[in-house]
Chain A
């Protein structure tokens, strides 16, 4: 994935995250000067968190339907 696409994806996932506004702004500010390896790590963390929250939502929703 090229750097532009990497940054674009990080921004997308930052918007999905529940982190406080100040932290989200800080990461957005840092993005252009971050090393690629760090961008990838951040993206993976954000994706993992979004995935975990989605799994939790689906699990809870299924349980709610079955109750």
Chain B
């Protein structure tokens, strides 16, 4: 048996002992915390605190998302500009790849967002007449999708619509020329 093996043989039970002590202390800390916070009245107060700060984070997320839109999604944000009659895809310098990238990124981004925050992202899209006009002309179920979104503003429908639009733009099933023609009619 080499010196390293001897050292390992000597230290193994000690390490195990340290681990046991640490585990036992951790259990005791968690046990005490759960016991104190588990009291009915305290648990209710704790829930209230969590609810209050969840709401505050919700509000902060709105600000953060707005900032992200302005900086990283200049095209998709046109869909959310409800106050003005911004018509997307009309600028001759518009690049279809920029649109594709933004559709793809914002769709992927929605996968990271917990349900209670999802409407912050999807409601401005669902409320945008520009978006709904584009969607209602979309081939295969576009109008059905648009009507569904108009009536219940379900975030899942908005995300599915974005996904469909991204796919069709990426595969050239729908082109800028098609979309421009929908607006000129």
Contacts and interface: CB of A to CB of B under 8 A. Distances in A.
Contact of A23 (B45, B67, B68, B117): B117
B53 A48 contact: yes
B3 interface: no
Contact of B42 (A42, A52, A60): A60
A26 interface: yes
Contacts of B57: 19, 23, 42, 45
A34 interface: yes
Interface of B: 33, 36-37, 39, 42, 45-46, 49-50, 53-54, 56-57, 60, 63-64, 67-68, 71-72, 112-114, 117
B60 A26 contact: no
A54 B27 CA distance: 19
Contacts of B49: 49, 52-53, 56
B68 A42 contact: no
Nearest to B53: A49
Contacts of B45: 56
A2 B96 CA distance: 38
Nearest to A49: B53
Interface string A41-67: 110011011001100110011001000
B60 A42 contact: yes
Interface in A15-43: 18-20, 22-23, 25-26, 29-30, 33-35, 38, 41-42
A60 B37 contact: yes
A20 to B, nearest CB: 6
Contacts of A20: 114
Given A38-B64, A56-B37, 11 more contacts: A19-B54, A19-B57, A26-B114, A30-B64, A30-B68, A33-B72, A42-B60, A48-B53, A56-B46, A57-B33, A60-B37
User: Which of B45, B53, B71, B113 has the most C-beta atoms of chain A within 10 angstroms of its own C-beta?
Assistant: B53
Nearest to A42: B60
Given A34-B64, A56-B42, A23 B36 contact: no
A18 B52 CA distance: 13
